[in-house]
Chain A
Amino acid sequence: MFKSEAASWFRIYEMFKFESFHMYGIIGSALVIGIIVVQSIKRFKIKSFYGENINFNSKTKSFSRYMFGGIIFGLGWALAGACPGPMFTLVGAGYVPILIVIATSIVGTFLYGLLKNKLPH
C-alpha cells in the first residue's frame, strides 16, 4: 500500500481527476485477478487450506443503502484521501494526524450503528 502510493492522498485526488492510470491500474488488475480467483474457487470447488468449503456471502439486495452509503464513503475518501486500509499503513509510516481520521471514522461507524434502524436500507 505504501510503496505503490495507494496510501497517498495525492494519488486519490489524481484518480478522481482522471489524470493518471496508476490507481485504476492497481484496482483494475487486483479486480481482474480477483475475478479469476473467485470464479475458479467456485467452479472447481477449491477447498480452503483447512479442507473446508469456501463460502461467499451474497450481499443483501438493496439499492439505497449501497448508493447512499457509497456516496457518503466517497465524499470522505476524497476529503481525507485515505480509505480504511491505507489509513493504518499511514500510522506505521509515522503520520500522526491520520489518527484523527481513524478516530473519527470509528465515531462515524458508531453513529451508523446508532442510526441504523432509522436509515433507508
Chain B
Amino acid sequence: MNFIYEPWPWYVSGPMIAFIMFLLLMVGKNFGMSANLRTMCTICGAGKKADFFKFDWKSQKWNLIVILGAVIGGFIGSQFLTVDMAVAINPETISDLNELGFNSAGKSYLPTELFEMESLRNLKTILVLGIGGLLVGFGARYAGGCTSGHAISGLSDLQIPSLIAVIGFFIGGLTMIHFIFPLIF
C-alpha cells in the first residue's frame, strides 16, 4: 500500500482524467474547468457589464461541484497521502531553475520563491502570479477552453479548433519559458 504515498505515475493519473471525462459525459455534462471562471464572473454580477455573462449560472452548478472536488482532492492528497512533498524533476531542469534563482527546485512541491506566504511581501511575486492568472483567464475564454476543454475533451472529439488551441498553448508556454523567463528571473 505504500505506492499510494509515492507520486502517482502518469499511467495512473492520465487514465483517471479520461475516466472523469467519461463520467461527466455519461451524466450529460462535459469536461471543462475554465468555464467555471465565467460562472464566477456571473455570480459576481458581471452580467450587468457584458452580455457574455448573462446566463443562468445555476445551470453550471454541477461544474462548481467539480471544482469543490478538486479542492477536497488537493486537501486529501497533500495532508494524508503525501510524505515527501518534493517533486523529483529532471536534474538538468533543477540546475536550470537554480540559475534562474529558484533554489527550491527539486526540494518542494511548488517554488517557495512564489508560493510561500513570505514571498508575498515581494511585489514581483505578486505581479508574476497576478499577470499569470490574468493571461490564463483571458486566454482560456478567448480560446474557448483550457487544458481540460481543448487538450482532453476537444481533442478526444477530434476537433480541429482544439488542435489549433493546443498548438497555441505550446507556442505561448515555450515563448514564456525560453524567451521571457530569462528576462524576468
- Interface of A toward B, CB cutoff 8 Å: 1-17, 19-31, 33-35, 37-39, 41, 48-50, 52, 54, 56-63, 65-98, 100-114, 116, 119
Contact = CB atoms under 8 A, between A and B. Distances in A.
Q: Which of B40, B119, B156 has the most CB of A within 10 A?
A: B156
A97 B136 contact: no
Contacts, number: 426
Contact of A29 (B15, B93, B128): B15
Nearest to B54: A113
A84 B79 CA distance: 22
Interface of B: 7-15, 17-19, 21-22, 25-28, 30, 33-34, 36-38, 40-41, 44, 46, 49-50, 52-53, 67, 70-79, 81-82, 87, 89-90, 92-93, 96-97, 105-106, 109-111, 114-117, 119-120, 125-126, 128-148, 150-162, 164-178, 180-181
A86 B136 CA distance: 12
Given A16-B176, A66-B144, A113 B46 contact: yes
A8 to B, nearest CB: 5
A68 B87 contact: no
A44 to B, nearest CB: 13
Interface of B is mostly: helix
A110 B181 CA distance: 27
A74 to B, nearest CB: 2
Given A4-B8, A66-B168, A108 B134 contact: yes
A29 B139 contact: no
